[in-house]
Amino acid sequence: MVLLPNVKNQRVGAKFRWCIFLTQLIMERDMGVISDIRYVGYAVKDLSSEQKFYQDVWKLDEVKEENDLVYFAAKGSAELYQVRLRQSDENSIDIVALKADTRQDVDALFERVKKFGSKIIFAPKNLETLGGGYGFRFFIPDGLPFEISTDVETKEIEILERWDAVPERISHVVLHSPNHHDLVKYFVDVLGFKISDWLGDFMCFLRCNKWHHRLAVLPGPPCLDHVAYDMPTIDDMFRGIYRLKKNDTDVLWGPGRHTAGNNTFSYFQSPNGNVVEYTSELEQVDENWQPTTYKPSQLVMDQWSTGVGGPKTMPALHADPALFKSAKV
Ligand SMILES: [Fe+2]
């Protein structure tokens, strides 16, 4: 039977769409949802240079140095810290911490991670890390260590103004994987991320909230590619570039504007070789968003194409040396 588009049927249609939407919400809640990125923990060979970089040049705020760990907060984030540094014999990733909103989400996500067969570092428990909370740690299939946590202590958010030129918060984390299609499937099926867009079949942009991407996956040896930080405005990104240049840290690639996410970008390298990005104007999406597969080209990768460098000027990739090894902190 064909439903005629009268007022009554429009109301039924609206109710039906609401039912589907609410059912999806309930299903997502049952599977547990990740709501944001909390922090990235790095092990670095030269702690003092990295510490100075994040404090004086990148302009995060050092909030604590305790038990050989140094913590940095971003002014515009409620997270107590978004970067954690540790002195080590090699440069590696200690942890990528993701946020869940409730203990039920943490438990549900743990069940899914366990059922998938991921190697567990520890099951959900009260955390002893700075800020406490409740969470678990595991290795994603390629071996990078992740945490999912909730109820972690938070701080006041500072409202930033144009020309403050300091990072507001972590915007996104980009990973490489020798099995990047499988890793995308893992983030979608196991951790509940949604695909926002693809660039060719080699770069996938994934979201866990209103922002176009909080995570992206590329082919390559298993490692972190870069961590990006939102700047309040495009002017703040450019003034940030100026500050980094004055401190002998020139742009590796940029300034430019990507097509997927429509965000501006400028990539740099920290003293220990970690790639970091200032970005701005990342677009927001809603539940009606339909993914696009963009055909890679110069003007798709960088809609301005007036900056320096390109993907080839980014540092050579190496597998993270600490895969499947827990930092225990
Ligand atoms: Fe990025």
CATH 3.10.180.10 range(s) for the chain read: 34-150, 169-313
Ligand 1 midpoint to CA 226 (Å) = 7
Residues 134 and 108 sit within 8 Å (Cβ to Cβ): no
The span from the CA of 291 to the CA of 129, in Å, is 37
Contacting residues for 15 by C-beta, under 8 A, at least 6 apart: none
Ligand 1 midpoint to CA 164 (Å) = 21
User: What DSSP state is assigned to residue 284?
Assistant: B
- What is the structure's pLDDT at 32? 75
User: What DSSP state is assigned to residue 57?
Assistant: I
Whether pTM > 0.85 for this model: the answer is yes
Ligand 1 midpoint to CA 50 (Å) = 20
Specify the CATH class of 169-313 in words: alpha beta
User: What DSSP state is assigned to residue 322?
Assistant: T
Helix, strand, coil abundance in the chain, percent, nearest 5:
25, 35, 40
- What is the structure's pLDDT at 176? 98
* Weakly modelled stretches of the chain, pLDDT under 50: 1-8, 21
- What is the structure's pLDDT at 19? 53
Ligand 1 midpoint to CA 262 (Å) = 11
Task: For residue 22, count other CB atoms closer than 10 A to its CB.
Answer: 10
- What is the structure's pLDDT at 9? 52
Ligand 1 midpoint to CA 277 (Å) = 6
pLDDT in tens, 260-281: 999 999 999 999 999 999 999 9
Fold of 34-150: 2,3-Dihydroxybiphenyl 1,2-Dioxygenase; domain 1 (3.10.180)
Contacting residues for 52 by C-beta, under 8 A, at least 6 apart: 271
